[in-house]
A and B are shown apart, each in its own frame.
Chain A
């Protein structure tokens, strides 16, 4: 009698495990990791690079008199009145590029004082000379990406000049932040 009862228990255990496996198959179809279906068969490539000066960062030098308006970044003008800041689009790509920019935060010093992000501005142009990029076309950095240059052709450079306003009464200190540049296929949302 006892043996029959044990046998029935074993059958119940085996059946339960089988039902558990069947339940999981019903839900997942044994799919844990799977390839996904693409609805785009076109291959796109794009690549960008910074100029060395832009890669090294944007330095506004020392500001000794406040308030200061449109302080030039130190590489805005070289000996031939050209800017050394640019983003270059590689010719090894197959789509023109929009360059999006944003500022990750206000400029902050170690004491917690800050210069608002929108006091840092830029202008951009496909041309590079004394007047272009033009400070008259300056745009404030924002914490979300916005397009700074549309439809930059392959192999071309988008030139930048950077400016900073420092209000009266701004506390002394070294202020830093990070600005980001992103290349996306032409006409897509930043």
Chain B
């Protein structure tokens, strides 16, 4: 009887390991659905993710394609969500992105330099979603004609209003060039002065030596 119990227990353990009874899940908690972001600015937003199911999961934050037009770069890491993490214990996850220049500017050089911004265009608004995508191991299809892998995600709406920042013409380039030219002239002056001083010193030594010789004669 003892042996039968052991066999039964081993079978249950093996079956549990081979055939998990539940799958993992993913949840999102959010308290903002819009953001006002200046252009050319790095912005970080925080959402919370949780997993109330009895199996660990991994997830990644991603912005939807509708927002890709205004996202110059995006940073996000894979996040581990322990099993039975409730919404009250949700894990904050921060992701950052940078908005590119999207409003037309009045530039003097090559459409990029010595620019001013009058903000005459209407504010641009981009509607998209923040998605929490569950990451799973590769699923193996068992023979037959194949089929479909499945992917799971949850999302929260996000409306990004890109703010135009008005400013006068930016003369930084000109000031930089002036500083550079002045620096070069200064350096050249100092080097030249040192050269002259060295030559004068040599000449003075030579003159003193010849005078001493003459006086001895």
| Shortest distance from the beta carbon of A23 to any chain B beta carbon, whole Å | 4
Which partner residue on chain B sits nearest A104 by CB separation?
Answer: B151
Contact of B154 among A10, A104, A184 (CB under 8 A): A184
> How many angstroms from the CA of A184 to the CA of B26 in the assembled complex?
12
Q: Tell whether A37 pairs with B36 under 8 Å between CB atoms, given A9-B182, A28-B165, A178-B151.
A: yes
- Cβ-defined contact, B25 with A26, below 8 A: no
Q: Tell whether A176 pairs with B147 under 8 Å between CB atoms, given A13-B179, A38-B31.
A: yes
Q: Which residues of A contact B23 (CB under 8 A)?
A: 49-52, 54-55
The answer to whether B93 has its CB under 8 Å from any CB of chain A is no
> How many angstroms from the CA of A183 to the CA of B151 in the assembled complex?
11
Interface residues on B, range: 35 or more
The answer to whether A82 has its CB under 8 Å from any CB of chain B is no
Q: Tell whether A43 pairs with B31 under 8 Å between CB atoms, given A27-B165, A48-B26.
A: yes
Binds B, one of A56-64, A123-131, A132-140: A56-64
- Cβ-defined contact, A46 with B34, below 8 A: no
> How many angstroms from the CA of A50 to the CA of B50 in the assembled complex?
15
**Binary B-proximity of A50-84 (CB < 8 A = 1, otherwise 0):** 11101111111111000000000110000000000
The answer to whether B121 has its CB under 8 Å from any CB of chain A is no
A side interface size, CB within 8 A: 78
- Cβ-defined contact, A48 with B152, below 8 A: yes
Q: Which residues of B contact A17 (CB under 8 A)?
A: 175, 179
Contact of A36 among B26, B43, B131, B178 (CB under 8 A): B43
> How many angstroms from the CA of A9 to the CA of B188 in the assembled complex?
11
SS class, residues of chain A in contact with chain B: mixed
The answer to whether B74 has its CB under 8 Å from any CB of chain A is no
Which partner residue on chain A sits nearest B31 by CB separation?
Answer: A43
Which partner residue on chain A sits nearest B170 by CB separation?
Answer: A23
Q: Which residues of B contact A168 (CB under 8 A)?
A: none
> How many angstroms from the CA of A37 to the CA of B33 in the assembled complex?
10
List residues of A whose CB falls within 8 A of some B CB: 2, 5-6, 9-10, 12-13, 16-17, 19-20, 23-24, 26-28, 31-34, 36-52, 54-63, 73-74, 87-88, 90-94, 103-104, 107, 109, 120, 162, 166, 173-185, 188-189
List residues of B whose CB falls within 8 A of some A CB: 19-38, 40-45, 50-53, 86-87, 90, 96, 129, 131, 136, 139, 141-157, 165, 167-168, 170-172, 175-176, 178-179, 182-183, 185-186, 189-190, 193
**Known contacts A33-B96, A36-B43, A38-B33; 17 further A-B pairs (Cβ under 8 A):** A13-B182, A27-B170, A28-B41, A34-B38, A36-B36, A44-B30, A45-B87, A50-B150, A57-B148, A57-B149, A87-B152, A94-B87, A175-B147, A183-B153, A183-B154, A183-B155, A184-B157
Q: Which 7 A-B pairs have the closest CB atoms?
A: A47-B27, A49-B25, A16-B179, A38-B32, A55-B23, A174-B146, A9-B186
